[in-house]
Amino acid sequence: MVHFAVIGLGNPGLNYRNTRHNLGFWMLDVLAQENKSQFKENKDYHAHYTLMAHEDKKILLVKPTTFMNESGSYLSSLLSYFSCSTKNVILVHDELTLPFGDLKISNKRGSGGHNGVESVISHIGNTFIRFRIGIGAKPLPQMKLSEFVLSKLSQSERTLIETHKDRFIKAFFSIFDNGLSATMNFINQTQRSQQPQ
């Protein structure tokens, strides 16, 4: 049994590394590194996964190896195997409606047009927690949305997102320790206080 399952969304393969759509994978790599955990592949569940410990809790980290629009296909059986309720699933994904590097935590929402989130909802419902990392709106009207989300982060964006790692990690640990409502309030208040007056 695990207390939480953290599922990062992304596309498998080197071609998609460091793209906006793969920030879910990036975040899980950060958590695994923080805990000195190594991912291993499970072909039955089409995922890379590892277990990490936080205080007295066991946390499952999952990166689906299906492509983004099939992200939810094997999650139900994987969660059943580890006896994890969908209410204790934290889905990490990129978010177009947020400024780059911003964080919003929510739950019981629609997909917002995100194909990976849509796939997860269609397979396990929408009771999970959403950990949404902003990638900003696409810069050019003529640029296709798919081109934007699959574009590589610039060097300055990669540097910027690295500076947010500690804040993101603290947000996860707050969910584990303090619950969803307290964490949502803390994140929202923190980001409001950081905005220019």
> Where does the chain have alpha helices with state H?
23-34, 75-81, 115-124, 145-149, 155-163, 165-178, 180-194
Main-chain dihedrals φ then ψ at residue 139, nearest 5 degrees: -75, -30
Main-chain dihedrals φ then ψ at residue 64, nearest 5 degrees: -60, 140
CB contact at 8 A, 110 and 70: no
Q: How many CB atoms lie within 10 A of CB 101?
A: 18
114 is catalytic: no
CB contact at 8 A, 161 and 153: yes
Concatenate the DSSP letters of all residues of 63-118 into one string.
EE-S-GGGTTTTHHHHHHHTT--GGGEEEEEEETTS-TT-EEEEES---TT-HHHH
Whole-angstrom distance, CA of residue 92 vs CA of residue 166: 16
Q: What are residue 63's DSSP bridge partners?
A: 48
Q: How many CB atoms lie within 10 A of CB 188?
A: 13
Give the active site residue among 3, 21, 54, 164. Answer: 21
Residues identified as active-site: 21
